[in-house]
Amino acid sequence: MSHNTFGHLFRFTTWGESHGPALGCVVDGCPSGLSLSESDIQPWLDKRRPGQSRHVTQRREPDQVRILSGVFEDERTGGPVTTGAPISLMIENVDQRSKDYSDIRDKWRPGHADFTYDAKYGVRDYRGGGRSSARETAARVAAGAIARKVLGDGIQIRGALVQVGPRRIDPARWDWDAVHQNDFFCPDAETAEAWAEDMDAIRKAGSSVGGLIEVVVSGIPAGWGAPVYGKLDADLASAMMSINAAKAVEIGSGLNAAALRGEDAADEMALDDTGQPRFTSNHNGGVLGGISTGQDLVMRVAIKPTSSIRIDRQTLTKDLQPTTVSTKGRHDPCVAIRGVPVAEAMAALVLADHKLRAAALKA
């Protein structure tokens, strides 16, 4: 029942603040015998790393991960493999300019967790948001890399940004290759160009904007997940909603399901070329009754605009004095962009857990 642990059988616990000496996580429940070294994790962290385009924060964090436990030389290959012991991962914080934050020490920034942390804990590490900083998500991405190892190569987890502000991609132009060819993880090259212009204006105005992330998972067999309170989609909803700034989660047709009629929403079944069952549509996003159908899992998470903006907003000091606040630090004008690898990681973490949970019932 930890507030900083996610998962049941495959689980991870994160720790660390934005401006502390380091952050990290402990991954527990990982099966033994999986080849694992830092080089399996680093590429995913690099994908999330700040400073990779003008559209994201210019903070410079190398985000180098170090494995402190849980791997050992395999007696056959000599290479490092997981031993079944907990895997401790650590990332040192390097580019912390704590002096930037003295101004907000005593103010509650609108949209941030300043007021609520003070209400709950009575003490708050105000430097860069402390524990509530999106910097915590680096630990999720690192853990997610291990989750991908557990899932194996047969399962593909891919995320994309499908909306920035009011502008949404055209699904007809969806191209997974495009995702790696622009600064937005955008699967629609044309829309990516429009976003670049939108973002320049927003950044110049000192403002920020929200976005919508879609994650698609291929290769999950039918039968993962569980009924009632162990539903795969309920766990994915919790995982996605736990991402900083998330405000909505959709599975399959999502919100649009409310508008449909039964005959249109039904995912009919037929036989594929090999005589195996297939669905002729995927309104349910790959889950029925909380259990995977074998189709692609499809989910979306809406991210609100970054709360740190250069535009003055009205607020209060901790002494209840009205004041205004704006944020001078280096922030993402659209935190949803770097949220894509985080959402992918959370999907991987949920699914690795459910892979183990499904295996348990085959005992």
Which residues, numbered 30-49, are part of the site for its own copies (CB under 8 A)?
31-33
DSSP 122: S
The count of chain residues that interact with its own copies, using the rule CB under 8 A, is 157
DSSP 106: T
Residue 119 contacts by C-beta under 8 Å, 6 or more apart in sequence?
none
First to last CA, the chain: 26
DSSP 101: G
Q: Report the residue from 251, 337, 343, 348 that binds its own copies according to the rule CB under 8 A.
A: 251
The least CB distance from residue 50 to its own copies, in Å, is 18
- Scan residues 253-282 and list those touching its own copies (CB under 8 A): 253-271, 275-277, 280
Q: Are 95 and 59 in contact (CB under 8 A)?
A: yes
Q: Is 339 in the site for its own copies (CB under 8 A)?
A: no
Instruction: Kindly indicate which of the ranges 40-48, 141-149, 301-309, 337-345 contains the residues binding its own copies, using the contact rule CB under 8 A.
Output: 301-309
The Cα angle at residue 265 between residues 185 and 212, in degrees rounded to 5 = 20
Q: Report the residue from 147, 250, 338, 344 that binds its own copies according to the rule CB under 8 A.
A: 250
DSSP 156: E
Q: Is 125 in the site for its own copies (CB under 8 A)?
A: yes
Q: Is 157 in the site for its own copies (CB under 8 A)?
A: no
Q: Is 108 in the site for its own copies (CB under 8 A)?
A: yes
Q: Is 64 in the site for its own copies (CB under 8 A)?
A: no
Instruction: Kindly indicate which of the ranges 54-62, 171-179, 184-192, 300-308 contains the residues binding its own copies, using the contact rule CB under 8 A.
Output: 300-308
Q: Is 295 in the site for its own copies (CB under 8 A)?
A: no
Q: Is 330 in the site for its own copies (CB under 8 A)?
A: no
Q: Report the amino acid identity of residue 88.
A: S
Q: Which residues on adjacent β-strands are paired with residue 80?
A: 73
- Scan residues 177-196 and list those touching its own copies (CB under 8 A): none
Which residue, among 175, 183, 171, has the nearest Cα to 300 in the 3D structure? 171
Q: Is 172 in the site for its own copies (CB under 8 A)?
A: no
Residue 21 contacts by C-beta under 8 Å, 6 or more apart in sequence?
92, 93
Q: Report the residue from 54, 60, 97, 120 that binds its own copies according to the rule CB under 8 A.
A: 120
Q: Is 110 in the site for its own copies (CB under 8 A)?
A: yes
Q: Which residues on adjacent β-strands are paired with residue 316?
A: 322
CA 339, 345, 349, 354 torsion: positive or negative?
Answer: positive
Instruction: Kindly indicate which of the ranges 12-20, 53-61, 169-177, 337-345 contains the residues binding its own copies, using the contact rule CB under 8 A.
Output: 12-20
Q: Report the residue from 237, 337, 340, 343 that binds its own copies according to the rule CB under 8 A.
A: 237
Toward its own copies, which CB reaches closer, 46 or 66? 66
Which residue, among 204, 182, 208, has the nearest Cα to 193 in the 3D structure? 182
What is the Cα–Cα distance from 234 to 222, expressed in whole angstroms? Answer: 17
Q: Is 124 in the site for its own copies (CB under 8 A)?
A: yes
User: Phi and psi of 38, rounded to 5°?
Assistant: -55, -35
Q: Which two tokens stand for residue 87?
A: 């895997």
- Scan residues 344-363 and list those touching its own copies (CB under 8 A): 355-363
Residues recorded for the chain: 363
Q: Are 179 and 185 in contact (CB under 8 A)?
A: yes
Toward its own copies, which CB reaches closer, 156 or 207? 207
Q: Is 315 in the site for its own copies (CB under 8 A)?
A: yes
The least CB distance from residue 36 to its own copies, in Å, is 12
The least CB distance from residue 181 to its own copies, in Å, is 23
